[in-house]
Amino acid sequence: MASTFILAAAAPVIKGPLAYFVTPFFGIVLSIAVYLLGQWLFKISKGFFLFQPLFVGMVMGILALAILAKWLGMDTAAFYTQAYKPGGDIIFWFLNPATIAFAIPLYKRNDIVKKFWLEILLSLIVGVFIALSLIFLVAKGFGLSKVGLASMLPQAATTAIALPISTAIGGNAAVTAMACILNAVIIYALGNWLVKIFRLKSDPIGTGLGLGTSGHTIGSAFALELGTIEGSMGAIAVVIIGIVVDLVVPIFATLVGLR
Amino acid sequence: MATQGKHPQKTSNRAPILIQIGIYATILFISWLISEWGNKTFPKFPLPTPVVGLVLMYLALTLHIIKVEWVEDLGAFLISIIGFLFVPSGIQLAGTLNILENEGWKLIVVIIISTVILLVSVAYCTRFFIWLRVHVLHKDAQVDADTKDEG
């Protein structure tokens, strides 16, 4: 709605070079270009963790927008909204079918789900509660503002669930969105290393649940690369953690006096 | 269909891609209706469409309303490009760069630590509860490592 409004309002006024960018095709082409650049860099650097395609795509994309905005003599945020967002929204929409596709790896390992449902549920509830307490302490230790603190708490949930909760407990939704994306980038970039140093390999169920919680759908896709048990646990974590965060975080926020 | 008999081929029952798209679209539409209803009835607990869709898709598969071959190819494709699908969410930061000016680096450090905390606390909790299952409740914790590719 917001973007159509802006387009409708801005369309007659746009003159000069900006007019060439105000089409969804620009955002789509830019997204694909920066992501492919990331994949290429990842390949030729033989998997250097900072060249993880999503991370490269994000940094290069922002950089490209900032440079183009400067060239056009406008604010990066305004250029983002007018030129990139229409195309970006189209790609973003495909996260809907992609998210529900995670039911498939989950269904394929229904044997584990039926056998361990109690352990899975308890681990996610207790695990999130411990994680919330630690995150709260760390955030407090760094001296984050009240808004910053509240924005950090819902990040275990996938973006679509985390944002409304963040707003509800007095956080900033954009900061929470950034947290959810960085979670995924970090898991994709450092996942192998983290699995190694915390010796998680021996326990595929825990690894899958942990990766799905910390890295959301991307963490779950990463878990799928480790094996079908990890993958299905990652998928179940994404689903159940959303519900757990939905219920636990508002209570936790009240307990620690954030609202 | 024609492969009944000798060599059951893995590709035999796969639904055409347009049918697969149709199934995804239908599930998403129903999920959206439920989510709209839920958000009006319980405004305190957000009920996002993709989460409802995930549950519906899982139920439809588990209750054998749809077959996995009808949704598998499109699902595998979408999951394989999930990193790309998140590029716009990442670039979204370009619209809100001013947030980073105040407590930017602190936020980023806290987020990095939080990611590790989430991974490790959930993984170790699971290890503990599975240990409990084996050593206190004396139930087995055997898992089948390979995928069951039932045709």
Question: DSSP secondary structure string, B1-27?
Answer: -TT-SS---TTTTPPPHHHHHHHHHHH
Q: Are A232 and A113 contacting, i.e. CB atoms less than 8 angstroms apart?
A: yes
Q: Are A161 and A246 contacting, i.e. CB atoms less than 8 angstroms apart?
A: yes
Chain A's closest residue to B127, CA to CA, is A206
> In this predicted structure, what is the pLDDT of residue A15?
66
CB neighbour list of residue A72: distance below 8 Å, 6 or more residues apart: A16, A17, A18, A79
pLDDT digits (tens, 9 = 90+) for B33-65: 998 998 888 766 667 788 789 889 999 999 999
Q: Do B31 and A100 touch (CB under 8 A)?
A: yes
Measuring CA to CA, how many Å separate A242 from each of A34, A48, A174, B10, B47? Answer: 30, 31, 18, 34, 9
Q: Do B97 and A77 touch (CB under 8 A)?
A: yes
Q: B64 to chain A, minimum CA–CA distance in Å? A: 11
Residue whose pair of structure tokens reads 């999920």 in the numeric block: B31
Q: B150 to chain A, minimum CA–CA distance in Å? A: 10
Q: Are A61 and B81 contacting, i.e. CB atoms less than 8 angstroms apart?
A: no
Best of B111, B128, B139 to substitute, by most chain A Cβ atoms within 10 angstroms, is B111
Instruction: Give the separation between CA A96 and CA B48, rounded to whole angstroms.
Output: 10
pLDDT digits (tens, 9 = 90+) for B77-124: 998 898 899 888 888 878 777 766 777 788 889 999 999 999 999 999
Among the partner residues B51, B62, B108, nearest to A239 by beta-carbon distance: B51
Instruction: Give the separation between CA A45 and CA A39, rounded to whole angstroms.
Output: 10
Sign, CA dihedral A142-A179-A103-A252, equals positive
Residue whose pair of structure tokens reads 């995924």 in the numeric block: A184
Instruction: Give the separation between CA A133 and CA B38, rounded to whole angstroms.
Output: 30
> In this predicted structure, what is the pLDDT of residue B99?
67
* Alpha helix segments (H runs only) across chain A: 2-10, 24-44, 53-71, 76-79, 85-93, 95-100, 103-108, 110-141, 146-152, 159-168, 173-197, 204-226, 228-255
Instruction: Give the pair of three-digit tokens for residue A83.
Output: 């030129």
Q: Is B14 exposed, middle or buried (0-12, 13-18, 19+ CB in 10 A)?
A: middle
Instruction: Give the pair of three-digit tokens for residue B11.
Output: 């590709």
Q: A28 to chain B, minimum CA–CA distance in Å? A: 9
Instruction: Give the separation between CA A41 and CA B129, rounded to whole angstroms.
Output: 41
CB neighbour list of residue B137: distance below 8 Å, 6 or more residues apart: none
DSSP output for A167-228: HHTT--HHHHHHHHHHHHHHHHHHHHHHHHHTT-TT-HHHHHHHHHHHHHHHHHHHHHHH-H
Q: Are A126 and A246 contacting, i.e. CB atoms less than 8 angstroms apart?
A: no
> In this predicted structure, what is the pLDDT of residue B133?
83
Best of A74, A99, A149, A241 to substitute, by most chain B Cβ atoms within 10 angstroms, is A99
User: In terms of Cα–Cα distance, which of B116, B70, B3 is closest to A107?
Assistant: B70
Best of A104, A147, A254 to substitute, by most chain B Cβ atoms within 10 angstroms, is A104
User: In terms of Cα–Cα distance, which of A108, A74, A89 is closest to A24?
Assistant: A89
Q: B2 to chain A, minimum CA–CA distance in Å? A: 26
Chain A's closest residue to B44, CA to CA, is A168
Residue whose pair of structure tokens reads 């699995």 in the numeric block: A195
pLDDT grade for B148, boundaries at 50, 70 and 90: very low
> In this predicted structure, what is the pLDDT of residue B135?
81
CB neighbour list of residue B83: distance below 8 Å, 6 or more residues apart: A35, A53, A54, A188, A218, A221
Taking every pair of Cα atoms in chain A, the longest distance, rounded to a whole number of angstroms, is 63
Mean pLDDT of B126-141: 82
CA A192 to chain centre: 18
Question: How many beta-carbon pairs under 8 angstroms link A with B?
Answer: 336
Q: Do A100 and B119 touch (CB under 8 A)?
A: no
> In this predicted structure, what is the pLDDT of residue A248?
87
Q: Do A158 and B55 touch (CB under 8 A)?
A: no
Residue B132 pLDDT exceeds 70 = yes
Chain B's closest residue to A31, CA to CA, is B87
Q: B13 to chain A, minimum CA–CA distance in Å? A: 16
ipTM beyond cut 0.95: no
Q: Do B84 and A35 touch (CB under 8 A)?
A: yes
Instruction: Give the separation between CA A154 and CA A248, rounded to whole angstroms.
Output: 9
Using an 8 Å CB-CB cutoff, list chain A residues near B45: 246-247
Among the partner residues A134, A207, A227, nearest to B117 by beta-carbon distance: A134
Q: Are A177 and A165 contacting, i.e. CB atoms less than 8 angstroms apart?
A: no
Q: Do B94 and A84 touch (CB under 8 A)?
A: yes
Instruction: Give the separation between CA B44 and CA A99, rounded to whole angstroms.
Output: 23
**φ, ψ for residue B13 (rounded to 5)?**
-100, 5
Instruction: Give the separation between CA A252 and CA B10, rounded to whole angstroms.
Output: 49
Best of B119, B132, B139, B148 to substitute, by most chain A Cβ atoms within 10 angstroms, is B119
Task: Identify the segments of chain A with pLDDT beneath 70.
Answer: 1-15, 49
Residue whose pair of structure tokens reads 């996942």 in the numeric block: A191
Which residue type is seen at B145? Answer: A
Among the partner residues A80, A152, A164, nearest to B95 by beta-carbon distance: A80
